[in-house]
Structure 1
Amino acid sequence: MGDPAGISPELTARLLALPELRGLCHFITIGDRRVLDEGAEIAGVSLDLETCRPADIPTAPSERPVFVDLEHLDPEEVRKGEASLAGGTFAIENFRTALLLAKEGRVDGVCFTPFNKKAMRYAYPGYDDEIRFVSDVLGYEGRMREFNVLDRIWNARVTSHIPLGAVAGSITQEAILAELELTADCLRQAGIEAPRIAVAGLNPHAGDGGSFGMEEIDIIEPAVRQAQERGLLADGPFPADTVFLRALKEGFHAVLTMYHDQGQIAMKVMGFDKGVTMIGGLPFPLCTPAHGTAYDIAGRGIADIGASREAVLLAVRMASSRSLKRAAE
């Protein structure tokens, strides 16, 4: 469960009530039963769950979804639509517990309903983003990256949560090549056998032959050629203002952009209510809806379940793919 002051409680309740999801996976949900029950009341759904304490989590799939009650938040302690230390502590502990279950191999994937970063920082001052927190909790030093996912297209990026002024200096051939390899691997885990990736340029008109910058000629093009030599189906760089149109028209499965908003704006315009954020590079899939906590509509029972549902479905596909691969080895 994510931030209790936003739409996360009602989204969690709606997810647990969807029969088609319960037929695809076994849910273990982390939170406080009082917060979940309030979310179910807001959402207008009834829940049939097996509730347990952390020490009693079943080691095998149960007939009913399991709710792990940390008993760590009275709903009266938070106000809807306001970031707070209590709300951040609630979300932090839920996230930490889920990550540790994954690290121990007791779950195959992790999903979370939206967090509020301000609240998370109240509870965990070093909280820059999910990647930083995951690294801290798991002691994981491998490469991780956020992907934004729609049913027709994925967006990967070379740089993420850094100032725009630092972007050009952070783009290297090695970084681009690493992102292309990680993107292709994650797409294969999601069921795409031969993923095609379009690469965006950095500068207007992809530099226009060097007229508006040399990054495309000196860095991005050589990285794309290296990727092709390694057998990856990558192409570009293409102008960033048309690369998504090209990708959709020509059947690319993903676009690799050079910085955060270069891809995020396009993805959210195309499907804000269905977009998923997936953190790739971990031994397990980690997914969440791409939208935020929607403080402005919290408690009104009108939150759209679409992106949360898609997050679970993507985690299921990727976890199943990993299981099949391990079984074949």
Structure 2
Amino acid sequence: MSDIIGITMGDPAGVGPEISVRALADMPPEDRARTLIYGNRATLEAAKAVAGIELDLADRVVNIDYDGAPLPWGQLSPVAGDAAFRFIQRAVQDAQAGRIGCIVTAPINKEALNAAGHHYDGHTGMLRSLTGAKAAYMLLASDRLKVIHVSTHVSLKDAIARATTERVLATIRAGNAHLKRIGVSAPRIAVAGINPHCGENGLFGTEDGDQIAPAVAAARAEGIDAHGPISADTVFHRAYSGGFDLVVAQYHDQGHIPIKLVAFDTAVNVSVELPIDRTSVDHGTAFDIAGKGVADHGNMNSAIAYARKLVSGGSR
């Protein structure tokens, strides 16, 4: 596996260009030599100017041109949405060819992406399509809390329908394999219930007993240290306090709210079960501060550090 990290610049009108060049400037020379930015050279030079940093981008940029670069900061545009897609498309091609070991994505704007004709619900769906993967799971990782999701960008009604025994079991397996890969020898996995108090023996719904409990039992039969379903109002606190290494959340907000509460600026978004490795910042394009030189690149640094861990860990 290549040890080169490929940062995709994200939406050119957002904070992605700035946090990308800030992160590159912060790196020691040996790490910078193992990092590429997939984006637009003119936009990255503009981001350097607003950030007030000196940085030689020579040989560190895989340049992809688009009309009007650099675009105005903070303005939604289908041109920017298409450019963001093409940055990712090129990085995926290079990852599949073994030229880079992990993609680190800066934020994209879903509205701009769809306005450009790229109809995805976000990075994970796009990467699944570009790689031909059958499945991909969103894992949010912080020092004290890690969460993997059974479903993400769907309505709550659809999320409940998707919490089938098969899908919950597949999510448990994916989370278990990923934690082993990053060095957790025997992951302790908690599976959140979907109804209040896990349905209270059918008083508030039967999905926990009918769909989730059988998945946990099947995982345990395979030797996975899985527990649940556990009421969602307590399971995240138990994991944060050290009781579990990973929580399986049944839907987007169930997992996102607790981790953004405890690790808003440091949590890393990791795509699990893709044929390539990808990490990401866990924030948006922040059009309101783009181009003002104030964007914080701490979350980008965390995503890059997680990527380095993946590429140094050997085979997938």
TM exceeds 0.5? yes
Q: How far apart, in 1, do the equivalents of 2:266 and 2:68 lie?
A: 31
Partner of residue 61 from structure 2, selected from 51, 64, 67: 67
What is aligned with 2:42? 34
Name the SS of the counterpart of 1:107 in structure 2. coil
| Cα-to-partner distance string for 1:84-128 (whole Å, 9 max, x where unaligned) | 012112211111100000111111110111111111112234222
What is aligned with 2:126? 133
Matches within 5 A, 1:136-175: 136-138=129-131, 140-175=132-167
What is aligned with 1:202? 194
2:87 pairs with 1:94: yes
Q: How far apart, in 2, do the equivalents of 1:22 and 1:217 lie?
A: 53
Partner of residue 84 from structure 1, selected from 77, 80, 84: 77
What is aligned with 2:203? 211
Please, what TM-score do these two structures have when normalized by structure 2? Answer: 0.92
Name the SS of the counterpart of 2:233 in structure 1. coil
Unaligned runs of 5+ in 1: 52-65
Aligned length: 308
Please, what TM-score do these two structures have when normalized by structure 1? Answer: 0.89
Partner of residue 253 from structure 2, selected from 243, 261, 286: 261
Q: How far apart, in 1, do the equivalents of 2:306 and 2:111 lie?
A: 27
**Preserved CA contact (<8 Å) 1:24 1:316:** no
What is aligned with 2:51? 43
Unaligned runs of 5+ in 2: 1-8
Give the root-mean-square deviation of aligned CA atoms. 1.8
| Cα-to-partner distance string for 1:187-231 (whole Å, 9 max, x where unaligned) | 122222221111100101111122211111122112111111111
Matches within 5 A, 1:1-329: 1-20=9-28, 22-23=30-31, 26-51=34-59, 66-76=60-70, 78-138=71-131, 140-321=132-313, 323=314, 325=315
Label 1:21 to 1:287 Cα distance change in 2 as closer, same or farther (>3 A). Answer: farther
Identical pairs, percent: 36
**Preserved CA contact (<8 Å) 2:78 2:115:** yes
Code of the residue aligned with 1:314 in structure 2: it is Y
Name the SS of the counterpart of 2:280 in structure 1. strand
Q: How far apart, in 1, do the equivalents of 2:99 and 2:193 lie?
A: 42
Q: How far apart, in 2, do the equivalents of 1:101 and 1:50 lie?
A: 19
| Cα-to-partner distance string for 1:25-54 (whole Å, 9 max, x where unaligned) | 711211111100111122222112333xxx
